A and B are shown apart, each in its own frame.
Chain A
């Protein structure tokens, strides 16, 4: 099986090459066949691979394949080589499996689009880059994948580039993630400087010997890597690009901005867990970033009206949970939440895409309504997804993963009651806006007449995802209820086990509190948005509540804040610097080159005598040098 590892990223790459080179000449069916087919075959191979991996785990704990050796300089070995351990395996499964479903969905979703081939080409390239990111055995290759997914994200957010504003969203995403990327590459340079290698297993092994716990060097590296993760995963304070990134087509939002790319930061932290464990400060920062983000983004999600922006803020918030889990040292809980979140959030985005498509590109949830009867499949799958998001106890996957995180937020080694309280508040908010979403979109009276309903090609992936949104949680139960922990057992081959504090109240207490809080959340949503709630009307009158609402609506005014703090001063500086002082050096180089070019051109005057003189000047120069030295 190991020798077929390369096929998993190679097939999407081949799909990309075919579609981008010959896309113009192919029929739509053929394009769809190649675009979705390549990912589906990858997914099949992945499933076979995982089955083999789980049945008979390799002795080293990982499948490895060195494809070729690009170049090497003293320790920096740039191999194109793959390594799949159980952590990567989780990510590969999600990427290819959900990727395949989303591609199939896109066949119908994008059917009418002019740039059918371009869409599938970019999506295939994205899958390839994402797979390289998680399968890389060295950080150079990982970084290649990291930048590759960033590029594809940029291309796909701006996919409908003719609509004004979309290219701005694409640029925003690109620029803001670039801040994180820059920090990350500096972190990688430092890592290489300290450890002399970027081969991941060596990095992890040498880090423990090289750094003492809490050393400045390792803290700096961990924080820089964390910054990279924050940019990619849209965590505070680099979260502002994700809501705008919803300008891309819905399958793109589902694949890139919900299930896979935005969790690259989670992967990076989990992959570099040794580095983070050596630095308690960085761990604390990770946890705090996660907790604050989940709360801040959750508040914003509560008041949005654009269905995709609600989901976007919810994604930021859920990734906040993952960061929180990683930060407190609950490694497998964080990855498990990634695992379940990928299913239900992809489901929600795809279902939302179907709704938007049916309602003639209507994004505002208050202009939807009453779709329960007309679109039953979408309704049921969306409800399952939302229930998972709200962590409806015992029947949804989201419950199992979020419950673990809530418990560890207090009880794990890095846990703290404040973190737990924030996470609990987040759980309440999540339940509230999930309920609001369902009630507003599917109940009430119909405000927009639906167009033609989504075809089966679109609904079947939804049903499959809905099944997993329920079932994915059953592989890992809270251990005080049922002794099933297939997921953490597997992941703990790679990630350290979670250390608990001592002298805690019983776990069941926390679980009950969490259950009650999310039920209260659901109930509050129900009472506020089912029918005409007097409380809501009353709030709409109150200026205080409305200003808070506006504050949340604008994403806690982060855009304005950055505008005032960074963009305006920057524009101010550029206005002062109209003559471009900083660029003078470069224009000077260009001007000097051009000047020299004119001077040197004179020497090429075609006169043989001058050429002979040139040779003699050379000899004289050599002799002079001899006399001088």
Chain B
């Protein structure tokens, strides 16, 4: 399968993520959309790694290792992020991002 398909799929996933972050009001869903974007990149990375491995580069596995790093970091981000969202919920009984506009000019 040519690599363009992967690129196309990833870009679609990425854009869905971006749109979700932009459109949704629920903080948890926004967070999920960010994860979706990260996973789109993961897919891209694995595809490129395969592409370069086929092209004969010995260090192409590095990109796959990078994917694991991204997953770990995403997990850490979720841990901290969900904690913050819980705090938000405790304070205002809602996870709607539109109510968070006390800090402004």
- In the complex, is A directly touching B at CB under 8 Å? yes
- Say which size band chain B's interface belongs to: 10 to 19
Are B100's CB and A605's CB within 8 A? no
Alpha-carbon distance A301/B25, docked complex (angstroms): 88
Given the known A-B contacts A607-B98, A608-B97, are A613 and B105 also in contact in the complex, defined by CB atoms under 8 Å? Answer: no
Are B22's CB and A605's CB within 8 A? no
Are A613's CB and B98's CB within 8 A? no
Interface of A, helix, strand, loop or mixed by DSSP: helix
Are B97's CB and A605's CB within 8 A? no
Alpha-carbon distance A604/B98, docked complex (angstroms): 14
Are A612's CB and B22's CB within 8 A? yes
Is A601 at the interface (CB under 8 A from chain B)? yes
Residues of B within 8 A of A616 (CB): 18, 22
Residues of A within 8 A of B98 (CB): 607-609
Interface string of A607-629 (1 = CB under 8 A from B): 11100110010000000000000
Restricting to A575-626, which residues have a CB under 8 Å from any CB of B?
601, 604-609, 612-613, 616
Residues of A within 8 A of B104 (CB): 604-607
Given the known A-B contacts A607-B98, A608-B97, A609-B98, are A601 and B22 also in contact in the complex, defined by CB atoms under 8 Å? Answer: no
Are A605's CB and B18's CB within 8 A? no
Alpha-carbon distance A609/B99, docked complex (angstroms): 11
Residues of B within 8 A of A612 (CB): 21-22
Alpha-carbon distance A511/B21, docked complex (angstroms): 99
Alpha-carbon distance A606/B100, docked complex (angstroms): 7
Find the B residue at minimum CB distance from A600.
B105
Residues of A within 8 A of B22 (CB): 609, 612-613, 616
Alpha-carbon distance A612/B20, docked complex (angstroms): 11
Is B93 at the interface (CB under 8 A from chain A)? no
| Shortest distance between the CB of A617 and any CB in chain B (Å) | 11
Interface string of A230-252 (1 = CB under 8 A from B): 00000000000000000000000
Are B21's CB and A606's CB within 8 A? no
| Shortest distance between the CB of A476 and any CB in chain B (Å) | 74
Are A606's CB and B102's CB within 8 A? yes
| Shortest distance between the CB of B64 and any CB in chain A (Å) | 27
Residues of B within 8 A of A606 (CB): 100-105
Alpha-carbon distance A167/B4, docked complex (angstroms): 81
| Shortest distance between the CB of A614 and any CB in chain B (Å) | 11
Residues of A within 8 A of B102 (CB): 606
Alpha-carbon distance A612/B17, docked complex (angstroms): 12
Find the A residue at minimum CB distance from B100.
A608
Alpha-carbon distance A605/B97, docked complex (angstroms): 13
Residues of B within 8 A of A601 (CB): 105
Residues of B within 8 A of A613 (CB): 22
Alpha-carbon distance A608/B100, docked complex (angstroms): 8
Are B97's CB and A609's CB within 8 A? yes
Residues of B within 8 A of A608 (CB): 97-98, 100-101
Residues of A within 8 A of B25 (CB): 609
Alpha-carbon distance A608/B97, docked complex (angstroms): 7
Residues of A within 8 A of B21 (CB): 612
| Shortest distance between the CB of B31 and any CB in chain A (Å) | 12
Residues of A within 8 A of B100 (CB): 606, 608
Alpha-carbon distance A300/B104, docked complex (angstroms): 70
Alpha-carbon distance A309/B97, docked complex (angstroms): 79
Alpha-carbon distance A606/B97, docked complex (angstroms): 10
Alpha-carbon distance A608/B18, docked complex (angstroms): 14
Are B101's CB and A604's CB within 8 A? no
| Shortest distance between the CB of A192 and any CB in chain B (Å) | 46
Find the A residue at minimum CB distance from B21.
A612
Alpha-carbon distance A605/B103, docked complex (angstroms): 8
| Shortest distance between the CB of A3 and any CB in chain B (Å) | 58
Are B18's CB and A607's CB within 8 A? no
Alpha-carbon distance A156/B25, docked complex (angstroms): 69
Which B residues are within 8 Å of any A CB, using their own CB? 18, 21-22, 25, 97-98, 100-105
Which A residues are within 8 Å of any B CB, using their own CB? 601, 604-609, 612-613, 616
Task: Give 5 closest A-B pairs by Cβ, nearest first.
Answer: A606-B104, A606-B101, A604-B105, A601-B105, A608-B97
- List 10 A-B pairs, Cβ < 8 Å: A604-B105, A605-B105, A606-B100, A606-B104, A606-B105, A607-B101, A608-B98, A609-B25, A609-B97, A613-B22
Q: A605-B105, A606-B104, A609-B98 are in contact. List 17 more A-B contacts (CB 8 A).
A: A601-B105, A604-B104, A604-B105, A605-B101, A606-B101, A606-B102, A606-B105, A607-B98, A607-B104, A608-B97, A608-B98, A608-B100, A609-B25, A612-B21, A613-B22, A616-B18, A616-B22
